[in-house]
Amino acid sequence: MATVWVSGATGFVGQGVLRALIEAGHGVRALVHRGQLPRSFPDSGVTVVRGNVLDPAALESSMEECDAAIHLVGIIVEKRKASFYQIHYLGAVNAVEAARAAGVRRFLLMSALGAKSDAATPYFRTKWMAEEYLRTGGMDYTIMRPSIIFGKDDSLVNLLARMARYLPFVPVMGPGNGRLQPVWLEDVATCFVRALEKQEAVGKAYDLGGPKQYTFNELLDAVAGLVGKKSRRVHIPLSVARPAAAAMELLLPKPPITRDQITMLEQSNICDISSMTDELGVEPSALEDAFPDYYGE
């Protein structure tokens, strides 16, 4: 079994990937910037190392004697000291170079469905830049591009569930016609482990999605149904939503929505999952079937 370095280990996706690696019998070197791993993780099989993806020297020492690296660090809202360019691109460059210096050739990167050079938002453009750097870096790489990820501590489905449960109506930015393909965290984590263990996954990028596609309106209806509510929504015109989001970005340390997120919700984020099912052997679970009882609690 491999010893696997994992960045972003305390995050929503990181915790899922760590659980899957441990269950598969791999050793884990968990890079932690702040905080600590949950107490639910076993003492054996996981070594916590402190570091920051913007500190190349610390990364290299944390990867010593590892067989593979899984780089998961990402942000969804920019801050003054943490831009998409810094975290998504420079963080990935530093991780790739540290892996190379430490003699780690197997490298798995968390990207995003929608990453491309001419994407409408810097979130997706910087994810693409990280992919490109990895592709040309001489590593035995695999890239994962998930759609919206749902799970017990996700930021979108749980928010929709709480609003559907407790608010008289749920605000929807624009018409709500952008299509999404939510994928369960446990399926994403399994894909990482399967790709790590398959030589055939080297040099490939996998689009990850669930078995069903929804418009945003349909997703809200489905989530409301999970918490026993009927979906009631009010559509906020984009001409109003964008200036409001801009003001929140200026005034709030953690704005509930940004202009970039509005742009992403307008667009479709769907994919063909045949390579996920055929090559990695992961048949994804539907939103309605996975953890239907915890939403909005």
Distances (CA, A) of 111 to 106, 124, 275, 284: 16, 8, 16, 19
pLDDT class for 40, splitting at 50, 70, 90? Answer: low
pLDDT class for 297, splitting at 50, 70, 90? Answer: low
Please indicate, yes or no, whether residues 118 and 254 belong to a single structural domain of this protein: no
Please indicate, yes or no, whether residues 23 and 142 belong to a single structural domain of this protein: yes
pLDDT class for 283, splitting at 50, 70, 90? Answer: very high
Q: What is the mean pLDDT of residues 242-265?
A: 85
Please indicate, yes or no, whether residues 16 and 111 belong to a single structural domain of this protein: yes
Query: Which structure tokens are listed for 257?
Result: 């929505």
- What totals of helices (H) and strands (E) does the chain contain, helices first? 11, 13
Neighbouring residues of 259: CB distance < 8 A, sequence distance ≥ 6: 242, 245, 246, 249
pLDDT class for 80, splitting at 50, 70, 90? Answer: confident
Residue 197 lies in a domain: no
Query: Which structure tokens are listed for 21?
Result: 């690696």
Residue 295 lies in a domain: yes
Residue 187 lies in a domain: no
pLDDT tens-place string over residues 90-127: 999 999 999 999 999 999 999 999 999 999 999 999 99
The single residue listed with the structure tokens 């979130």 is: 123
Residue 11 lies in a domain: yes
Please indicate, yes or no, whether residues 116 and 92 belong to a single structural domain of this protein: yes
Please indicate, yes or no, whether residues 43 and 100 belong to a single structural domain of this protein: yes
pLDDT tens-place string over residues 184-195: 999 999 999 999
Residue 155 lies in a domain: yes
Please indicate, yes or no, whether residues 23 and 129 belong to a single structural domain of this protein: yes
Query: Which structure tokens are listed for 204?
Result: 């490939």
Please indicate, yes or no, whether residues 137 and 156 belong to a single structural domain of this protein: no
What is d(CA 69, CA 76) in angstroms, rounded to the nearest whole number? 22
Please indicate, yes or no, whether residues 89 and 156 belong to a single structural domain of this protein: no
Distances (CA, A) of 67 to 93, 104, 295: 19, 6, 37
What is d(CA 127, CA 147) in angstroms, rounded to the nearest whole number? 13
Report the predicted TM-score, pTM, of the whole model to 2 decimal places: 0.93
The domain tally of the chain equals: 2
Q: What is the mean pLDDT of residues 47-63?
A: 90
CATH of residue 291: 3.90.25
Three-state DSSP string of 209-230:
CCCCCEEHHHHHHHHHHHCCCC
Range of the domain at 264: 150-182+209-269+286-297
pLDDT class for 36, splitting at 50, 70, 90? Answer: low
Please indicate, yes or no, whether residues 119 and 247 belong to a single structural domain of this protein: no
What is d(CA 68, CA 166) in angstroms, rounded to the nearest whole number? 44
Residue 27 contacts residue 1 (beta carbons within 8 Å):
yes
Please indicate, yes or no, whether residues 11 and 119 belong to a single structural domain of this protein: yes
Residue 135 lies in a domain: yes
What is d(CA 176, CA 217) in angstroms, rounded to the nearest whole number? 5
Q: Which of 75-79, 211-215, 228-232 has the highest mean pLDDT?
A: 211-215
Residue 113 lies in a domain: yes
- Domain boundary pick from 127, 146, 165: 146
Helix (H) or strand (E) holding 184: strand 183-184
Please indicate, yes or no, whether residues 248 and 159 belong to a single structural domain of this protein: yes
pLDDT class for 296, splitting at 50, 70, 90? Answer: low
> Taking all residues of the chain, what is their mean pLDDT, rounded to a whole number?
91
Please indicate, yes or no, whether residues 295 and 162 belong to a single structural domain of this protein: yes
pLDDT given at position 294: 67
Which burial class, exposed, middle or buried, applies to 59 when counting CB atoms under 10 A from its CB (0-12, 13-18, 19+)?
A: buried
Q: Which of 45-49, 165-169, 200-204 has the highest mean pLDDT?
A: 200-204
